[in-house]
Each structure stands twice: as C-alpha cells, then as structure tokens.
Structure 1
C-alpha cells in the first residue's frame, strides 16, 4: 500500500489577523474558510493552494504559547513549497523581494535548491526545487 501525500498543513500563529494578511499577500489569495471550530477549541483560516493542499492558520483562543517558533525545538522544522524549475525559483525570490519579505537568496546543494524565509511568527518556510531542474 502506498503512503498517502499531504492533504493539509496547519500552523498555530500568535496574531491571526496579522498572519492572515501576511499569508494572503504571499499566496496572492484570500482564505477559503474562516471559522471557529465547532467545539470552540480553536479558530482557523484556511487557504486552498494549487495541487489540492490546504494550508491552515490556527489560533487557540488565547491559549497558545506566546514564544516565537524555533526549529531547534522538537516539532516543526520548516514547511517547503515545491517548484519545478530554477526560473520558477527565481520568480518566487523576486516576488519575496516585491513583498518586502526577507530571505536568504537562492541556496544550491546536492539535494536541491531553495529560498528560505520566515513568517511573522518566525516559522521557517522555503521554496524548493529538486536537483537537475
């Protein structure tokens, strides 16, 4: 039996309004869902990305920790968005520049190339292409 691909990613943010504005600019789209979870445990905003992946922002009604994300802690290290060519990677690097989002430039390695950047909560994000593309 084949292992299934990712269907959605959900991250907890410290300021849902600020993060919604930031991700809307990055994705170039508005959320498709903005609602309280029916049990009242959290509120979420969800984006529908190309390829069928859903990307959610969660707030836990003031119960979330107030510290910034740090990939050295157990848990999420980073989220990577897959691209298909160097030209596409360059376009996304340029788009980050247009949005005023700091990034590390294009880094090349034997396992692929990518542009790393961070969201308002310091969550590490990346645009990535496999080697040879």
Structure 2
C-alpha cells in the first residue's frame, strides 16, 4: 500500500432529524441525496458536499441521545470544512450571520485560520483555511 485512502464520508448522530436536516440544508444550500431507514432502529439522511465527500446524519430510535454533543468526551472533537483562503472564511462568517447561526470570530494561527460554530445538537463544526503564503 503506497497511499492512505482519502476520507469519503462522515456520519454524526443527531437527536432529531426534523431539526437537523433543515439546518444542514440551509448551511449546505442543498437537499439530501439519501433519506431512508436502514433498519427498524436507525434512520439516516446523507448530503453530498461539493468535493464528493458525504456527510450523514443518523438518528437512532429508542437509544440514549438526550445529551448535547461535547467535544470533551471521548470521540469526535469537531468536523472542519476546507476553505482556500481567509477571505472565504470571511464570506462564510457573513453567510452564517445571514442564516442566524451563532459562531465565533475567525482565529488566526501559524497553521491556518478557523471559524467555529455548532449545529443544533452542539456538534462542533469549523471552516478552516491554510495560512496565507508569504
């Protein structure tokens, strides 16, 4: 094996698809490509992102999904969407404002710049751009 395979999809568990699906539809400005029950206890909705990566929303029926997400628990910390430049981050900041989605300020670091926000279940999301070339 010469190269590690690329990431193809991310699936996150949400409490209520009827809340999360419209929220992600507004964020992505897209409709899901899959919306189905996979077994009696799970339903999933899948979005195709611009680069072909899939983002799935899963709702598990009758299982403990009462607590909000916390990146301080073992498991996922956050999901980051790549932007080419800091200027794109600024555009996303304005778009989040238009959608009424709370977010932090753009934070710059030597390794890049990020704009953090959360989905309705508190799942930590970020737009991230690499550092500007000198």
TM range (shorter): over 0.9
Q: CA deviation at 1:123?
A: 0.4
Structure-1-length-normalised TM-score = 0.95
> 4+ runs of 1 displaced by more than 3 Å?
none
CA contact (8 A) 1:6 1:53 kept: yes
Shift, 1:65, TM fit:
2.4
Secondary structure at 1:116 match in 2 = strand
Do the aligned residues in 2 keep the contact of 1:14 with 1:64 (CA within 8 Å)? no
Cross-structure match for 2:117: 117
Q: CA deviation at 1:62?
A: 2.7
Aligned partners of 2:73, 2:35: CA distance in 1, in Å? 29
User: Secondary structure of 1:5's partner?
Assistant: coil
Root mean square deviation of aligned Cα? 1.0
Distance in structure 2 (CA, Å) of the matches to 1:5 and 1:24: 25
Is 2:20 the partner of 1:22?
no
Is the Cα contact below 8 Å between 1:12 and 1:64 reproduced in 2? no
* 5+ residue gaps, structure 1: none
Equivalent position SS for 1:50: coil
Give 1:6-85 correspondences, 5 Å limit.
6-37=7-38, 39-85=39-85
1:111 deviates by: 1.1
Query: Secondary structure of 2:89's match?
Result: helix
The 2-side partners of 1:99 and 1:27 are apart by 11
Q: Pick which of 62-71 and 19-28 moved more.
A: 62-71
